[in-house]
Structures are given as structure tokens and as C-alpha cells.
Structure 1
Amino acid sequence: MENRIAIYGAYGHTGKFILAELFRQGYKNLILSGRDHEKLTLLHQEYPDLEIKAADLHDPKTLDDAFSGAKIIINCAGPYLDTAKPIIEAALRSGSHYIDLSAEQKAVLDVFEQFAEPAKNNKILIIPAAAFYGGLADLISTALTQDWNEIDEINVYIGLDSWHPTKGTRLTGDRNHYKRLTFKDNRLQELEAGISKEWDFKNPIGIKEVVALPLSEIITISRHLNVNTINTFLSQNSLDDLRNNDTPEPKPVDSKNRSSQQFCVEVIAVKSNIRRTISAQGQDIYAVTAPLITESIKRILSGSTKKNGVTTMGEVFDASDFLKSLNDDDIKITAIEESTLN
């Protein structure tokens, strides 16, 4: 099988970032796919040498045709509660590896519960939530605690100076009506109503009010790290933007078509009386998914993976090495700081 890569939802906001980054890095054996043939045709005008194949999620034959010969399928089309299952089933039929961008906890849980054995038996990789939400915090948490066999607590703080949601983000939010889960006492539990607090993300985000809002990193981290408790906190201002129907979609401001949005992800891990901290800063939560996916593709194709089956970015890759490989223009990773608790 040639190293062909299929991108489903290639014409979507994040799909375009991934396509552009793969193309820039020399990946030219790409299949551009999705549900909308008209949008694929418009995209083909920008990439005339690439193959386009429309595929209907409810028609397995069209999916099989679109993914024929693909080594890896990148699913950029949400809501993943609807798209993950049919595309993974097609990946199993074609023997292709699968990777997606899901922030939806239920979608990620379903992938683990439904496809762990089939993926292992077919010797393929299935990596859900390999994006800003889910994958980045999983990689950082793994790198931060790589020499700890047991972890008392991991807290993930996500600060955005603003959130201009895409149409896909809003559709996913409307579709995802399931209760949010957190991880406490070594098990998944429904999130209890909590109070907000302030967190200093330093420049350029500054001090923000944050609230507990667990996303797919709760699922990915808990799947492979021996941790008692995991919490995720998101800046309230970004939620206000998301919940405001008048908030516009992101607008490009630079040569990479990134918006001006700034983000900071800070992860704190505690074991006994030891506290470790690391943070990642960058621009545009949608655009930053592209280097994460591209580096994952590179490592899958080179065989730099630790297992087959359904897995996570932190589990299947060397997390510290992965983070070091990222360009500072995409994500700036700080050094690990360690201190003793009083």
C-alpha cells in the first residue's frame, strides 16, 4: 500500500489547515474527501493535482471507494458522534489507520468501547481526539509525568483571549447534549456544579476567570496514565464568546491564515508533595491542530509508534520528543518546573 492519506472534511475550516500543512511538508499523495461534492470541486481548484472523492456517511460503498488505497484516514468532519463510527468501520475494511479531532467525550468513549478489539485484531491505529482539545493536553500531561508510576492529580488550565467559533464548532455543540464527565477517585464521574476562580495565564492571556469544563482530554489521559483525579478549567470569557450567537467566525490575519486568537494551556501534576508545571502557548486553536496532526502522520508512517489498536497521542508516541519536534511558531512549550508543596 502506498503512503496515501485521505482527508475527510478537507474543505472544512480545520481540514484546510491540515491539508495546507501536509502539502507544504511535501505530502502530495492526498485524497480529498467529504460529503459535499461542490465544496470538494472548489477546493480542487486550489489543489488541481490532488484527487477528490465525495463520500456519503450513510453509503459504505462510497466510503470504501474514497478510502481505497489510503494508509491513513484523517477525519476532520464533526460532529464525531455521527461521523466517527462509519469512517472507522470503513478504515477497518480498508486496513487504514484512523485519526480524528474530536473534543466530544462521548464520541471518544464510544470509539474505545466499540473498536478496541477490532482495531487490535486488524493491526491498525485508531487515535481519536488528536487536536488542540484532547491531544495537546494528553501529550503535555504524559511528558510532564513520564517517570511517575502514580499521579495524585492533573489539572489542565486552558486560557483563550477570545473564541471565534466555526460553524462546525457550533454544530457540534448543538449535537453534543451528553453530560460532561470528570475523573475523580480513579473513575469517570458526572461533573458537579462548581464555583469559578481566577487563574494567571501570564502574557498574552493574563488573569482570567476559569470554570470547570472537561473535554476529551479527560478520556484520553485517564486511558493510559495512572492518575487519581483529572480536572480541566476553561477561561470564562471564551465560553461567553462561544455562547454568544453574534460572535463571528475566525478571520485570517497572517500568511498561515491563522486568526489573531492567542491560547495558553497550562498543566499541573501533583504526586505526594511534588508539583510539576508545564505550559504551551500559541496562536489559533484551530490552526494549531495542523502541526499536531502532521507530526502524528509523520510518526505513523515512519513506524515511530508504541502499539496498535485504539490509543491516544500521549500513549502511542514519545510525548516529550513529539513536543520538542514542534515549531515554536506553532506552539511554544516551556521547560518543566518542579517544586515541593508545603
Structure 2
Amino acid sequence: MTIYAIYGASGHTGRLVTSELLSRGKDVILSGRDPGRLAALGHPQILPATTDKPESLRALADSADIIVNCAGPFVTTGLPVATAAAAAGRHYVDHALEVHHVRRLFDEFGDRAERGGFTMLPDASFYGGLGDLLADAVARGVSDIERITVAYSVANWKLTTGAMATARLLFADTDRIGFADGALQFGFVEPRNAVFAFPPPVGPRTMIAPVPFPEPFTVPRHVRTRAVEAQLTARTFEEEKAFTSEHLTAEERSDSEYTVAVQVLGAHGSAAGHVRGRDLWRVSALIAAESAVRIAEGRVKSGVMSPGEAFDATEFLTALADRGAFTLELPAQP
């Protein structure tokens, strides 16, 4: 039987991923740095491990077939946990939003994963991963693509401790990665205010553009385009509870509302699509769990890939919609 190890299992996302995998009858080991918090979860299989003790992470990798890393910020945990997984030849999935970590996994483990017969899937999450999937699905049928915009409208987002640390790191980072004129662009880009017209009932919204999400790095790997930009509603971080939500209950944290929309502009046409739902944390967990199950079942080739590169994006999004993750609207395919 395939064994799934959840690193960061006592955190909010880790608990959701664990619950989803257990509901599917999967064999799960819970891991993280705090033995007491792991024991309090009441699960029979726990294996504490810390990023400053590589031998503990290697013991975790040796005990599982696939590791799902839910412990952000991933600039801290990502490389140590991924390194342990690669050393043991195990599959690896994470929730990373940090584009530099995502790029590093591609650069450092791509050839090794292909040769070793294992899969590494960073950014299997709401931010970044969902946009990567949606961009691929919407872009089908559009030729000579000039620009892809991935726009997130998020309200009532209540950040966890790890998410707050990640957000602060992201927006303080001046070493950005973008994609324009058909090539990766490096260096700081001054954010601007833009307006994106979301489908009703959201409508036009003021956006922070660009935001330092992974789509400009990941989307061009599987969609031919000259430019990719990610945007986020300006109001998201203006809401009072966004950064004062560290100790909320899971139920209180679940009432976020979102629309993620993609606009694809081509030289000879355009296309748009979106997903809409509640509780972005649950969507993150579903993306990670669904990805891990498909990888463990041998439905993904070896190597380092983004979600939109690893899966048939339309089928994957439809499978999530069928599980009640969100409503899905995609353009009709020719």
C-alpha cells in the first residue's frame, strides 16, 4: 500500500490534506517539528522530523512513498524536505507560492528526478497552482498568444502563521521573476494599480499588478505565450482580519470567497475562464491531495513539473469541481 507522509501535518493546511487523504482510505504518516502537536492529533502513525536534522527527514522519506510538504514558508522548509525525498527516490509535492523555491526545484532536481523515476510537484496549491492549471485550460484553442493574465479576487482571507510569514517575504523581495517579450525577466518591477474585469457578480476590481506568484515561471513551460502576469485584488490585504487571524478556528478560517479568472489574448482571438468558490484553504488541500494520489498511482511522468504541466488541466479542474471545490467555467473547445 502506498504511504503518504504529510510534513507540517499539525498546521491548518496539513490537517486538511490529511483529512482528505484519510477520507480516500490512504495510509498516512504525520510529520513535523513538534512531537507534542503531532501526538495531539490522535493519529496512530507519527514521525517527527526537523529541517535542521537532515537524518530525521531522510528517515521520514525512507518510511513513505510520497511526501506532501505543507509547512511554509517554503524558502525555509522546501529545499531540506525535497532533498531528503530526492535522496530516497521518493515523490514530492508542496504548496509553495515562493517562485524562487519553485525555480530551484526545477533547476536542481529536474534531471535527477527524470533519471531516478520520481516526480516532484511544487506549487500544488490555490495561489500559483490553480492559476497554472486554469491558464492551460483556457489557452487551449487560442493561437499566437500575446498575453495571459491570471487574476485572483479574494475576500475574507485569514492567513495562518506560515502564510503571514510567506506573504511578508514575497512582498519584501526585490528579486522578482516575470515573463515578458517571450522570455523570463529578472529584477524588481514596481507594482502598479490595474483594473481587471472579473465576471459578474464580482465585476471590475482594482488590482495589485504584478504580484510575485509562480505563474510567470510555470505557465510558459507548457503554454506558448509572449507574456504572463499574475494579479491580486488590492482589497485582499486591506481587510482587517487578514493579518490578525493567527489563532482562529478552522471553521472561522474557512469563509474566504474567491474568483480566479484567466484572460488569454491572442493575435487572432481571445478566451477567458474562471473558477469561483469558498474556502481557498480547502482548495489548496484538494489540489495537493489529488496531485499526490495521481502521482502515487503512476499517472504522472517522472521529473519536476508544475500542476498544469503534469496533468490534463481541464480534466483535473473538472475533477476538483466534481468534488465541490468550486464552480468552473471554461470556454467551449473547438
Relative to the length of structure 2, the TM-score reads: 0.91
Runs of 4+ in 1 over 6 A off after TM superposition: none
Amino acid at match of 2:19: A
Determine helix, strand or coil for the equivalent of 1:286: helix
The separation in 2 between residues aligned to 1:249 and 1:157, in whole angstroms, is 29
Determine helix, strand or coil for the equivalent of 2:280: coil
After superposition, residues 65-104 of structure 1 pair within 5 angstroms as 65-104=59-98
Matched with 2:184 is 188
The separation in 2 between residues aligned to 1:322 and 1:230, in whole angstroms, is 22
Amino acid at match of 1:104: E
Amino acid at match of 1:20: S
Identity of aligned residues (%): 31
- Pairing 1:332–2:331 present: no
1:117 corresponds to which of 106, 111, 114: 111
Determine helix, strand or coil for the equivalent of 2:192: coil
Matched with 1:52 is 46
Q: Are the counterparts in 2 of residues 164 and 242 from structure 1 also a CA contact under 8 Å?
A: no
Matched with 2:216 is 218
Matched with 1:39 is 37
The separation in 2 between residues aligned to 1:34 and 1:247, in whole angstroms, is 22
After superposition, residues 1-342 of structure 1 pair within 5 angstroms as 2-27=1-26, 29-43=27-41, 45=42, 47=43, 50-148=44-142, 150-176=144-170, 177-179=172-174, 180-189=176-185, 190=187, 192-202=189-199, 205-212=202-209, 213-241=211-239, 245-246=243-244, 251-253=249-251, 259-305=254-300, 307-326=301-320, 327=322, 329-336=324-331
Determine helix, strand or coil for the equivalent of 1:51: coil
Amino acid at match of 2:225: V
With over 3 angstroms needed to count, the CA separation of the structure-2 counterparts of 1:252 and 1:91, relative to structure 1, is closer
Moved more, 240-249 or 283-292: 240-249
Moved more, 327-336 or 200-209: 200-209
With over 3 angstroms needed to count, the CA separation of the structure-2 counterparts of 1:311 and 1:244, relative to structure 1, is closer
The separation in 1 between residues aligned to 2:191 and 2:30, in whole angstroms, is 43
The separation in 2 between residues aligned to 1:140 and 1:244, in whole angstroms, is 25
Q: Are the counterparts in 2 of residues 67 and 91 from structure 1 also a CA contact under 8 Å?
A: yes
Q: Are the counterparts in 1 of residues 145 and 266 from structure 2 also a CA contact under 8 Å?
A: yes
The separation in 2 between residues aligned to 1:193 and 1:9, in whole angstroms, is 34
TM-superposed CA distance for 1:258, in Å, is 5.7
Name stretches of at least 5 consecutive residues in structure 1 with no aligned partner: none
The separation in 1 between residues aligned to 2:22 and 2:85, in whole angstroms, is 22
Name stretches of at least 5 consecutive residues in structure 2 with no aligned partner: none
Q: Are the counterparts in 2 of residues 151 and 226 from structure 1 also a CA contact under 8 Å?
A: yes
Amino acid at match of 2:146: D
Please, what is the CA RMSD of the aligned residues? Answer: 2.3
Q: Are the counterparts in 2 of residues 150 and 271 from structure 1 also a CA contact under 8 Å?
A: yes
TM-superposed CA distance for 1:58, in Å, is 1.8
Q: Are the counterparts in 1 of residues 159 and 243 from structure 2 also a CA contact under 8 Å?
A: no
Amino acid at match of 1:22: L
Alignment deviations for residues 258-309 of structure 1 (CA, whole Å, 9 cap, x no partner): 621100000011221211000011112212111112221222123222x311
TM-superposed CA distance for 1:164, in Å, is 1.5
With over 3 angstroms needed to count, the CA separation of the structure-2 counterparts of 1:252 and 1:60, relative to structure 1, is closer
Q: Are the counterparts in 2 of residues 258 and 287 from structure 1 also a CA contact under 8 Å?
A: no
For these two proteins, the number of residue pairs brought into alignment is 329
